[in-house]
Structure 1
Amino acid sequence: MITMAGLILLVQALALFMATPMEINEMQAFEDPTQVSHSIYYIGLILAFTVLVLIAIKKNMTWLISLFIYFAVLSTLYYVFFALLTLFPSLAGLEVLVSTLLSAGLTVLLYKYPEWYVIDIVGICIASGVSALLGISMSVIPVVVLLLLLAIYDALSVYKTKHMITLAEGVMDLKLPILFVIPKQRGYSFLKENFAEGEKREAFFMGLGDAVMPTLLVVSASIFMENGGPITYPVLGAMLGTLAGYFALSILVMKGKPQAGLPFLNSGAILGFFAGVFVSGSAIM
């Protein structure tokens, strides 16, 4: 569980690092980052994707899910590598070619050999890249609204409708790279993991979204806050708040029942952020 917390911190640190080159290269998704409507837009996309995945699982069209996920992985890795390569003047003019080769190679490796450490490495790249891209695209208020809406949605989908549990189990059977995997013992193989109902899990699992969503606030605070920067009180508060929410979540997870992660992680990030704002006296932009 401590290792998983370390992965969250690593994602947040890398997202902060990648935010600057992505902002310089104008990779923002929106021209006006202050519009709260962007939050509604992303909620709509998430709901639409959830419906499509549930239909694909029911219709036994899991190949369609796999195709979409691997395309998303390839695209995200390209943006990540492109942003990082722009930091090296010696590679000027070669960013597109090298980024394409690296992202394609890593995606093929992931498809051919989705062992847990390959999935985790790719997961770190994807989670930090998506967090940086969305974090520089939305200012603090839209991000806070998005995190609150997602926390409510996650709670309803896990505890009320339970469709998120169905979705997670269906996707995990495909062994797709949309989660972090931490083995409980040496010699573990994700390729041999049995996801049949009632079988004991030999590893801890956490969806990439649980790392991405609170990290949006970390990145947004570093970019859009007055007197912003990589490490300020609001940024540090959001990071520490995420960890506090994670450990509260872990206590319940250890009891063996599925739990909605975002209510804990998002609320921790938001409370920590506002605590940092209070301490620093910074203005929210």
Structure 2
Amino acid sequence: MNDRTRILAAVGVTVVLFLGIQLGALALVEPFTESERQAVENPEDPTNSILYVGVMLVATGLMLAAFKYDLDWLIRLLLVAVSVMISWYVFAELVPAVVGPLVSAEIAAGLAIGASLAVGAALLWYPEWYVIDGTGIVMGAGAAALFGISFGPLPALLLLSVLAVYDAISVYGTEHMLDLAEGVMDLKIPVVLVVPMTLSYSYLDAGSTDDVLEDGGVEAETSDTAADEHTEPAETDHTDADTADTDGQDEGGTLERDALFIGLGDAVIPTVLVASAAAFLDAGVLAVPGLAVNLPALGALLGTLAGLLVLMYMVLEGRAHAGLPLLNGGAIGGYLLGALAAGLPIATAIGI
């Protein structure tokens, strides 16, 4: 493939991965709500966002300390366990819906558990890029849906705003997110989405993180998981997306890479607002089979993708960038436009 084709293919695959997480989250909003998977008693309480950010900061510090003292194996086991847990949340809803008419409830539940354990086994023994991406979609959709039904519009907007600022500070200021991403990348776990740029690329054979274009705030993902059993955090807890270009000073370096790495949190955090809009707003409901979607949720989804395209353009220029300011900004802008299109006052859309 020539360079132009490789770039277009990488951007296209990245968009598809984001869409998979977004649509998966929308498909899980109603099942999770009916199963009472909410992680908090009052989803409208804005202090939920503050608590989450606090937990994330503590988790970040603990992970950095773990890498400093060569406890990488502990982080890997924790994240694999979180992957299994979040996968079970998802499969516990999807498997019975698919095979329920054919088998008993007990067998369906057993199949869901088996599928979740298979995810963990694959991550431990064969974490190739397509295993990482497949697991990332499942985890990302599950986590975003869990967060979405647990955070009303105001807490969700606060969460996205605070994490966007934190991401910018951690990438452009303290740069500790880049250090964290470097440590996590070598663990080969689904805290990133891997986008191959060559047909022969193998994540298993990749020996370093020199090709990272975008790091994800993986730490956050884990943090919630350990602290919250709702599993939303667990799934991919928070994950700031830092777009880190460790090579790179120019576009040539970008084009020579074999793969791009996108932080899973880059997809999950803005999708929290998508799921929240679908769960808590009744205006502008769209009739889409299998999905809980309305105009504000659709606006947030499209705004996230618009931010992603701008981010990818900037990253492919060969410079390091924080991901969440663009992604969350796009999601918030799209959400507000969708709310206006649905006839909602801005105050109602914000949740005040």
| Smaller-chain TM-score bracket | over 0.9
Task: Determine if the alignment matches structure 1 residue 155 to structure 2 residue 168.
Answer: yes
Task: Determine if the alignment matches structure 1 residue 116 to structure 2 residue 172.
Answer: no
**How far did 1:85 drift?**
2.8
Q: After superposition, what is the alpha-carbon deviation per residue over 1:137-193, rounded to whole angstroms, capped at 9, x for unaligned?
A: 111110000000000000000110000001111111121221111110111100111
User: Structure 2 residue aligned with 1:61, among 67, 71, 95?
Assistant: 71
**How far did 1:95 drift?**
4.4
- Structure 1 residues 192-231: aligned runs within 5 Å: 192-195=205-208, 197=210, 201-227=257-283, 229=285, 230-231=292-293
**1:205 match: secondary structure:** strand
Task: Determine if the alignment matches structure 1 residue 272 to structure 2 residue 300.
Answer: no
Q: Does the CA-based 8 Å contact 2:185-2:209 persist in structure 1?
A: no
Distance 2:112 2:16 in 1: 27
Normalising to structure 1: TM-score of the pair? 0.95
Corresponding residue of 1:234: 296
Q: Does the CA-based 8 Å contact 1:222-1:228 persist in structure 2?
A: no
**1:187 match: secondary structure:** coil
Task: Determine if the alignment matches structure 1 residue 17 to structure 2 residue 17.
Answer: no
Q: After superposition, what is the alpha-carbon deviation per residue over 1:182-227, rounded to whole angstroms, capped at 9, x for unaligned?
A: 1101111001113265676410110110000111111110110133
Distance 2:70 2:275 in 1: 38
**How far did 1:228 drift?**
6.1
**How far did 1:84 drift?**
1.3
Distance 2:276 2:138 in 1: 18
- Structure 1 residues 182-197: aligned runs within 5 Å: 182-195=195-208, 197=210
Distance 1:160 1:261 in 2: 14
Question: Size of the alignment, in residue pairs?
Answer: 285
User: Structure 1 residue aligned with 2:153, among 129, 140, 165?
Assistant: 140
Unaligned runs of 5+ in 1: none
**1:177 match: secondary structure:** coil
**Percent of aligned positions that are identical:** 42
Normalising to structure 2: TM-score of the pair? 0.78
Distance 1:196 1:179 in 2: 12
**How far did 1:255 drift?**
1.9
Q: Does the CA-based 8 Å contact 1:21-1:86 persist in structure 2?
A: no
Q: Does the CA-based 8 Å contact 2:29-2:149 persist in structure 1?
A: yes
Query: Cα RMSD over matched residues?
Result: 1.6
Instruction: Give the letter aligned to residue 210 of structure 1.
Output: D
Q: Does the CA-based 8 Å contact 1:242-1:269 persist in structure 2?
A: yes
Unaligned runs of 5+ in 2: 1-10, 211-245, 248-255, 286-291
